[in-house]
Structure 1
């Protein structure tokens, strides 16, 4: 039953963060293309994307907190995370594929933790390709 719960949480995080990413990029694209100057729009889009990724990391931090404290799907190698910021930091490390530092998940938590970098990598590259596309369009129009 714990594995099924971990699978559901993992899919919820992937679907939730991907849907949020899609909607945010759609809105950022509309706003950027309506703007007067490319440079201010580019700065706005970059700040928007950074904020978006922080929210997505927050989704994973909440999932890790829920899986660790409430659902008991495993733990982080016996290390206690005393604050929500610890979950956020761990989620950021996993999301950006930086590695686990000295924290190694055990139990069903491993499933969630192993999918986080895959989803993070896809969302980060989606943001990069969106920025590339936007700048290429501006260069072609001479904006």
Structure 2
């Protein structure tokens, strides 16, 4: 018998993934826009401008990692996948850790997703790579724009 391509767990993971990716991209766009404007309007000190940019981008990435981690935690509670490995997943911070190693494309070692949850985590890797690259590009452009400022 041929199994249906998507069962209810797969649909739940796919729809959750779409929502979380959209939220993260929107969050990153808004944070990047605010930080870019801040670079032009705030303190004449180059140091303060760039520290604000870096801390702001870091905060955006941490929030994005938490969004994916909370989604993974919720999906496993909804039995739409599991996490296996040498370390048991005991609380939400364990899922934030899983999300961080996925988002940064560090890779799996002690824990890894199984079942439909793999779709969320695979998509998180691509999203994280793109958003980190976006941050690096913004930082480069802002450094290029402000490098010759005296401040």
Q: Give the structure-2-normalised TM-score.
A: 0.88
- Give how far 1:134 is off: 0.4
2:16 alignment partner in structure 1: 9
C-alpha contact (below 8 Å) 2:46/2:149 kept by paired residues: no
Work out which of the two has the higher radius of gyration on C-alpha atoms and give 1 or 2: 2
| Stretches of 4+ aligned residues off by more than 6 angstroms | none
1:19 alignment partner in structure 2: 26
Q: CA RMSD in A?
A: 1.3
Q: Which has the higher helix share?
A: 1
SS in 2 for 1:105: strand
- Give how far 1:11 is off: 0.8
- Separation of aligned partners in 1, 2:39 and 2:48: 9
- Separation of aligned partners in 2, 1:88 and 1:23: 22
Q: Which runs of 5+ in 2 are unaligned?
A: 1-7
Q: Does 1:138 find its partner at 2:146?
A: yes
- Give how far 1:104 is off: 2.3
- Give how far 1:77 is off: 2.2
1:58 alignment partner in structure 2: 66
1:127 alignment partner in structure 2: 135
- Give how far 1:131 is off: 0.5
C-alpha contact (below 8 Å) 2:103/2:125 kept by paired residues: yes
The count of corresponding residues between Structure 1 and Structure 2 is: 141
C-alpha contact (below 8 Å) 2:46/2:146 kept by paired residues: yes
- Give how far 1:129 is off: 0.3
1:86 alignment partner in structure 2: 94
- Separation of aligned partners in 2, 1:132 and 1:57: 23
The farther-off stretch of 100-109 and 23-32 is 100-109
